[in-house]
Structure 1
C-alpha cells in the first residue's frame, strides 16, 4: 500500500476546491467501501455513485414480467441477486414458481436440454455479459429456450446524466469491466474528464488522482489507468458478436425515464429466442410507491444513508429496494461495510 499512501498524500496536496466525481460500477463502489477509500480522501473530494448495478436498474415492469413467466409455468433461470429484487407484486423468490439460480446463460441452456418445459433466462447486465449471451444464441440452443433481455448500455445513461445536470459532476471513473469489452473510444464524445480504472485500491486511487489533475488543468480527456486489461478499441470480436445478435433500443431504467438507445433487444432473426415476443409480455410502467430512494441513489443525487429506511426497515434480509439486494448495489455495500457518510 506504499503506492496508495503516496497517491493519497498527492491528492491531499492537489485538491483545493470542491470536486465531485461519479463512478458507474458497483464493483468500484464495493472496492471503495471495502478499502475505506472515502475515509482517507480530502474532505473536498466527493465520490458519488451512479447507475452501476445492472440488477438495481432493472425496472419493476421487467421484474413483474419475469414473475409472470414463473407464474405461467416456465422454468425461470437467472443470477442469484435478481430473484429477490422487488417488482410491484413481489419477487421471483416469492412467486411460487420454478425459479432456479444459475451461474450463467450456458447453465440455463443445459436445463432446457434436459426438459420439454419452456426455460427462460432473465438476461441482465451491461455490455460485459451480453457477448456471452449472444454467442450462446448463435450456437442455436433448443427451441424451448428463450431469454428476457434486460441488458443496458452505459454511454447513453452517461449522456442522460450529463444532459440533466441534477448534481454537479466534474468527472467520471469509467467501468473497467465494461471497457475491457467495449474499449473507451465511445466515451470520447463526452466533454468531461474521464478515466478508466481497475478495482484494486491503488487502481481506484490512481484513477481519482488522474481525474483530479484533469479537473485542475481544465482538460476533458479519456485516460486509461487500467492498461493491463483495457485498450481503446476493446474486444472487437466480442463487440461483433453482441451486435450480430442484439440491436440497441429505447428502454426504461429504474430511477430513470426511458433512455434512448440504452438497451439491447434481439434482432428479428433471433425472435424465436425472445421471451417478450414468445410469451406476448407487456412491460408496465410502475410508479414507485414507497419511501425508498433507490432512484435518487442510482442517479448520484443521494447516498444510501440519506434514506429513512436504510438499515432499519430496509436491510439485506428485508430489502425494500433493489440497491439493498444486489452485491453491486450501493445500499447493500454500505450496509455490509458499515458506511454512513
Structure 2
C-alpha cells in the first residue's frame, strides 16, 4: 500500500541506520514528542538498533498521560451526578484521579458512556433530552477541531443539554517548558507530525532559534522516524538549529487553515495543568465566552483544584513525561504497575511510554 509499505522497507531502514552511524560524531539526545512515535520506536525495535551515541528520550506526547488528576476528578464528580451522562473515549476510563478513576466511578453507579466521536455525544444529547450529556474533551491540537465542531453542531441544533469538559493541551508550550528546565539535556526534537498536519510548523521556528535545537517534524513509520533522526543529527553535527519537515507528504507549512479557524471560533488559549509537569502558561484551550452554555465547567460550576495531590504510589510518571527517566527505571514497572493494574497514566494508554515498553519488553529486554 502506498505510503505504508515503502516506509517499512527493511533495506531502507538498514541504509538509514548506517547513515546515522556515519554522521553522528558525539553523543546526541533526541526527544520524540508524540506518543505514537514512542510506540513505533519501541514496537519496531528501533531503540536497540540506533548507534550508541544516539539516545531517544520520550516526551509528554500522550494526551491521556498528561491529563492531570484534577481533571479526572472533575469528570468523576460529573459522572456521579444523577442528571449527567458523561461521555468519554475508552482510553480515559482507567486513568487515575486523586482518589478514583472513571471506571471506579461507574462501578459506584456513575453514568459513563464510552463513545468513538464527540458527535456521538451530541446525538446522545439529542436522543436523551432528560439527561445532561457531557463530553470529556481531551487531547492535543489534533482532536481540537472535532471537539470544536461538536460544540458548533450542538449550537446549530440549539441543544440545551450538551456540554464539553475541556482538557486540551498544546505541544509547543510543553516543548518550551522542557527546554527551559535547568536539568534539560535534550539536543533536538522529532516534532509530532499529526499535530503539525493541523497547526502547521510556524510555532516551532522561534523555539529552534531561541534554544538552538533542531526540530524535525516527523511521521510514525520506521523509515519516517529514522529519516527524522538522521535529519536532526545532521543539523547537530553541522551546527545548525532550524525546523525541517520530514513528513511533507502530510504536513504543510501553514497546516489546515479550516481546522484552525474552527478551533479559534470555539476555543481560546489558557494556562493548563499537565500531569507530572505542573501548570504551563498558555498551554491549552478553554471554551470562549460566547459558547459558555456548552462549557461544563461554567454550567455545573466545577473547578480544577490543582492543590489536591493523588495518592503517592511511587509512580515516577512525572519524570518519565519530562524525559528525565525511562519506564524501566521505575521500580514498579512490570511488577506492581502493569496495563491491567496501572499506577500511573503512562501505563494506561496504548500511546503511553510505559505501556509501549511493557507490551514489547520481552522482545527487547526492557524489564529490569
TM-score per shorter chain, which class? over 0.9
- CA distance in structure 2 between the partners assigned to 1:104 and 1:300 by the alignment: 31
Residue correspondence of structure 1 range 75-86 to structure 2 within 5 A: 75-86=85-96
Shift of 1:329: 0.6
Of the candidates 176, 181, 197, which is equivalent to residue 198 of structure 2? 181
Corresponding residue SS for 1:29: helix
Pairing 1:101–2:118 present? no
Shift of 1:16: 2.1
Larger CA deviation: 141-150 vs 51-60: 141-150
- Aligned twin of 2:331: 308
Shift of 1:167: 2.8
Gaps of 5+ in 2: 1-9
Shift of 1:149: 0.3
- CA distance in structure 2 between the partners assigned to 1:60 and 1:12 by the alignment: 42
Pairing 1:112–2:129 present? no
- CA distance in structure 2 between the partners assigned to 1:284 and 1:44 by the alignment: 43
CA RMSD of aligned residues (A): 1.0
Gaps of 5+ in 1: none
Of the candidates 137, 143, 167, which is equivalent to residue 150 of structure 1? 167
Pairing 1:44–2:67 present? no
Shift of 1:138: 1.6
Do the aligned partners of 2:164 and 2:296 also contact (CA within 8 Å) in 1? yes
- Aligned twin of 1:229: 250
Shift of 1:89: 1.3
- Aligned twin of 1:138: 152
Corresponding residue SS for 2:18: helix
- Aligned twin of 1:332: 355
Shift of 1:23: 0.8
- What stretches of structure 1 move > 3 A for 4+ residues in a row? none
- CA distance in structure 2 between the partners assigned to 1:87 and 1:311 by the alignment: 21
Over residues 104-131 of structure 1, what are the superposed CA-to-partner deviations in whole Å (9 max), with x where a residue is unaligned?
Answer: 1011111111112011100001000001
Shift of 1:4: 1.2
Pairing 1:169–2:183 present? no
Shift of 1:75: 0.8
The TM-score with structure 2 as length reference comes to: 0.91
Corresponding residue SS for 2:180: helix
- CA distance in structure 1 between the partners assigned to 2:329 and 2:44 by the alignment: 22
Instruction: Give the length in aligned residue pairs.
Output: 341
Do the aligned partners of 2:25 and 2:237 also contact (CA within 8 Å) in 1? no
Pairing 1:123–2:137 present? yes
Pairing 1:17–2:26 present? yes
Shift of 1:98: 1.4
Corresponding residue SS for 1:239: helix
